[in-house]
Amino acid sequence: MTYQAEGCLRVGQEAPDFTATAVVDQEFKTIKLSDYRGKYVVLFFYPLDFTFVCPTEITAFSDRHSEFKEINTEILGVSVDSEFSHLAWIQSDRKAGGVGDLEYPLVSDIKKEISSAYNVLDPDAGVALRGLYIIDKDGIIQHATVNNLSFGRNVDETLRVLQAVQYVQSHPDEVCPAGWKPGEKTMNPDPIKSKEFFAAV
């Protein structure tokens, strides 16, 4: 399969599909992004196994996996490492720089086709930047963010944005203000009705 990014990948576009080998429960399995239709997907890229910032992100997402699963969401981690490197990293203890058993798949992008399709490949470094995409159950990208290599992402913020995406998709007449969390006030995107929100805050 070939992967082709048509210009800049944008929110609102269909997420590029891929078929790749992943490590799932310490086994090699072939997965397709399109197999997750009907679920939300948090797809995140990281530079390399056996590095420094990466294990903090990977274990943080694994430790919170149940919170994502409860709201019909799967997590997929992707790097340009082989599945053999992924397996060795998973089989390494966290106290020794490994990640231990994970609650979600680590995908091998050794040909760098997936990271290229998502426009996160740093060609000079030969690795993926810290790209993160929230893909809805119809396969459409609803959120995208890319960090440089030196600093990690926030699981709480990813979960918050995911919850906001799900809320507005199930409440099409409402929008979520800055920093919105479940249970807080939303607003109606109307010049008159929106004043109710502003008056209340």
| CA dihedral for 89, 43, 109, 29, sign (positive or negative) | positive
Phi-psi region of 178 (alpha: psi -120 to 50; beta: other; left: phi over 0): beta
Length of the chain: 201
Query: Under a CB-based contact definition with an 8 Å cutoff, are residues 94 and 62 in contact?
Result: no
| CB crowding 110-144: b at 16 or more within 10 Å, else e | eeebbbbbbbbbeeeeebbbbbbbbbbeebebbbb
| Contact (CB, 8 A) for 169 and 42 | no
Which residue blocks in 99-178 are alpha helix, DSSP H?
113-117, 155-170
Instruction: Classify burial at 97, counting beta carbons within 10 Å of its beta carbon; exposed 0-12, middle 13-18, buried 19 or more.
Output: middle
Residues marked as catalytic: 54
State how far Cα 7 lies from the chain centre.
21
Give the 3-state secondary structure of residue 101.
coil
